[in-house]
DNA sequence: ATCCTATCCTGGCTGC
DNA sequence: TGCAGCCAGGATAGGA
């Protein structure tokens, strides 16, 4: 699923192809993808706009827009589980799952594709409001051992649902939560307020390391869904220590990896290396 | 405050 | 082989 490393990869790869381009036309095949805006209202907002900057916040891809050199809102995309973004010649066939296409002024189009219908591409006047509830960026200077220790202490939640809560920390999903908790030697069901400062510092370090390594590998593609905008799979799935490895040996102690359900999410852990 | 469940979707898997 | 039924997953809303 596209989590922070996948979305970062997508943003990096589409940035050079999109920055400075102008939207000449748009095609909307599934209105709900727009997140509430009607097709005409969406078209009015985006057609004629210049794409000034492409960036990422949590699991969101953000495209800042300008009209006549003046900031005029942004496109904020969320791929949920199966969304994809491509930038290809306008003659390219996106297949049956195209939801929105933005025709650009250089003969290419921005394709927003989703096998399911959960992904969203929203226009907003104020992206910072839409993104305002997100927690800190795990790869920013804000995310320090001291911050994490305090944040964990101020809650009484179990670690895994807390890491998945985007208002707590932005960008972590099921895969990187399981991998980070394993690497830090923490049990997904451990209560956040009972984590020692040393463990919490380890969690901070391992979250940063896991996400950084995954970005270096262009994310994880363990199923047929995630592909980079170039159509290539990432390769971080080859580095998974616990995710999707139920029954296989723990890379640290060789005990079989367990799969449990936490907050309705499949959760992978080593019962020997990750104590409650 | 936190947890639990349902909802949204559909390809792919399991089991008969 | 065909088909029904279940499952995964992120975010969100409503209820306990």
- Helix H, strand E, coil C: the string for A76-122 is EEECCCCEEEEEEECCCCCCCCEEEEEEECCCEEEEEEECCCCCEEE
DSSP letters of A172-194?
--HHHHHHHHHHHTB-TTSBGGG
* pLDDT grade for A224, boundaries at 50, 70 and 90: low
Q: Which of A50, A56, A57, A59 is catalytic?
A: A59
Give the model confidence (pLDDT) of A53-97 as tens digits.
999 999 999 999 999 999 999 999 999 888 999 999 999 999 889
Q: What angle do CA A193, A129, A5 make, to 5 degrees?
A: 60
CB-based burial, A19-42: b 16+ in 10 Å, e otherwise: eebbbeebebeeeebbbebeeeeb
Structure tokens at A62: 């953000």
Which pLDDT score is estimated for A205?
A: 96
For nucleotide B6, the protein residue with its alpha carbon nearest to C1' is A264
Q: Model confidence over A132-149: pLDDT tens digits?
A: 889 999 999 999 999 999
The confidence score (pLDDT) of residue A7 equals: 92
From the CA of A89 to the C1' of C9: give the distance in Å: 31
pLDDT tens, residue by residue, A3-37 = 999 999 999 999 999 999 999 999 999 999 999 89
User: Residue A8 has which token pair?
Assistant: 């970062």
Q: Please confirm, yes or no, whether A59 is among the known catalytic residues.
A: yes
| Residue A158 neighbours by CB under 8 Å, 6+ apart | A188, A189, A190, A191, A192, A262, A263
How far: A94 CA to C15 C1' (Å)? 42
Across all strands, nucleotide nearest A82 (CA–C1') = C9
Nucleotides of C under 7 A from a protein CB: 7-12
| Marked catalytic residue, from A2, A5, A127, A161 | A2
Residue written as token pair 């208002």: A167
Whether residue A265 lies in the annotated active site: yes
**Alpha-carbon gap, residue A151 to A75, rounded angstroms:** 31
Protein CB footprint (7 Å) on chain B nucleotides: 1-6, 8-12
Least confident piece of the model among A95-109, A153-167, A211-225: A211-225
Residue A222 has pLDDT above 80, yes or no: no
């Amino acid at each position: 699923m596209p989590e922070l490393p996948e979305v970062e990869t997508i943003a990096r790869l589409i940035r050079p192809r999109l920055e400075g381009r102008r939207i000449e036309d748009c095609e909307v095949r599934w209105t709900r993808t727009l997140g509430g805006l009607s097709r005409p209202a969406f078209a009015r907002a985006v057609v004629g706009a210049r794409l000034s900057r492409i960036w990422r916040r949590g699991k969101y891809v953000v495209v800042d827009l300008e009209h006549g050199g003046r900031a005029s809102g942004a496109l904020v995309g969320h791929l949920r589980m199966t969304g994809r973004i491509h930038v290809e010649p306008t003659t390219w066939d996106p297949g049956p799952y195209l939801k929105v296409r933005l025709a650009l002024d250089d003969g290419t189009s921005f394709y927003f594709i989703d096998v399911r219908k959960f992904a969203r591409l929203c226009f907003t006047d104020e992206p910072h409001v839409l993104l305002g509830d997100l927690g800190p960026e795990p790869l920013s200077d804000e995310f320090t051992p001291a911050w994490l220790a305090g944040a964990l202490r101020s809650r009484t939640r179990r670690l895994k649902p807390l890491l998945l809560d985007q208002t707590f920390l932005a960008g972590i999903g099921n895969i990187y939560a399981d991998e980070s908790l394993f690497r830090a030697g923490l049990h997904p069901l451990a209560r956040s307020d009972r984590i020692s400062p040393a463990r919490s510092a380890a969690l901070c370090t391992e979250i940063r390391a896991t996400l950084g390594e995954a970005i270096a590998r262009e994310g994880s593609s363990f199923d047929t869904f995630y592909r980079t905008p170039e159509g290539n799979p990432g390769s971080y799935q080859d580095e998974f220590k616990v995710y999707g490895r139920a029954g296989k040996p723990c890379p640290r102690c060789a005990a079989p990896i367990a799969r449990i359900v936490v907050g309705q999410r499949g959760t992978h852990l080593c019962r020997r290396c990750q104590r409650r």
